[in-house]
């Protein structure tokens, strides 16, 4: 069976990305390893009293993201594609590559929003970073309008 790692960010194009990954998995008789990487600083804020940590904010955000991840997993399973998920905090590129290695992935499926130029200079592109550093194929699906 082909192992496919599918990172999701819960953006407005996530459904389109999931649909493409499901279609790809069905064509290859693959299983999907769904991952969402939450930032390590979710519960931190800068205010009048300086840099503060709010564990309840972090817990609520993680709980909400886990609910979203479970819904996506159920949607994939409803298409008769085997799926499991992981929510982990960390640096997205490194965490995704570690997960792909741990799951012996054959592919990483990513979406491309079609941004370029100045956006990539200042923000960077996770997809670009993964394609540069991955030792396994990265399938990039166009998910822009």
Does the pLDDT of residue 145 top 70, yes or no? no
Q: Are residues 40 and 69 in contact, defined by beta-carbon separation less than 8 angstroms?
A: no
CA neighbor of 103 nearest in space, from 33, 29, 17, 49: 33
Give the model confidence (pLDDT) of 7-30 as tens digits: 999 988 899 999 999 999 999 999
The token pair that represents 22 in the structure block: 């499901």
pLDDT above 90: percentage of residues in the chain? 58
The token pair that represents 29 in the structure block: 């008789």
Number of domains into which the chain is organized: 1
Query: Structural domain of residue 49, as residue ranges?
Result: 2-141
Kindly state the DSSP code that residue 106 receives in the 8-state scheme. Answer: S
Does the pLDDT of residue 103 top 90, yes or no? yes
Average pLDDT of the segment spanning 92-117: 88
| pLDDT confidence of residue 121 | 44
Q: Residue 137 maps to which CATH number?
A: 3.40.50.620
């Amino acid at each position: 069976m082909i192992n496919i790692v599918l990172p999701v960010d819960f953006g407005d194009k996530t459904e389109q990305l999931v649909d493409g990954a499901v279609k790809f998995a069905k064509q290859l008789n693959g299983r999907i390893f769904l991952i969402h990487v939450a930032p390590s600083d979710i519960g931190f804020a800068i205010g009048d009293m300086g840099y503060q940590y709010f564990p309840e904010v972090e817990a609520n955000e993680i709980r909400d993201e886990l609910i979203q991840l479970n819904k996506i997993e159920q949607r994939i399973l409803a298409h008769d594609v085997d799926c499991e998920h992981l929510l982990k905090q960390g640096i997205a590129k490194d965490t995704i590559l570690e997960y792909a290695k741990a799951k012996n992935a054959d592919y990483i499926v990513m979406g491309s929003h079609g941004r370029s130029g100045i956006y990539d200079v200042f923000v960077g592109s996770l997809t670009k970073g993964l394609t540069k550093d991955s030792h396994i194929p990265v399938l990039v699906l166009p998910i822009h309008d």
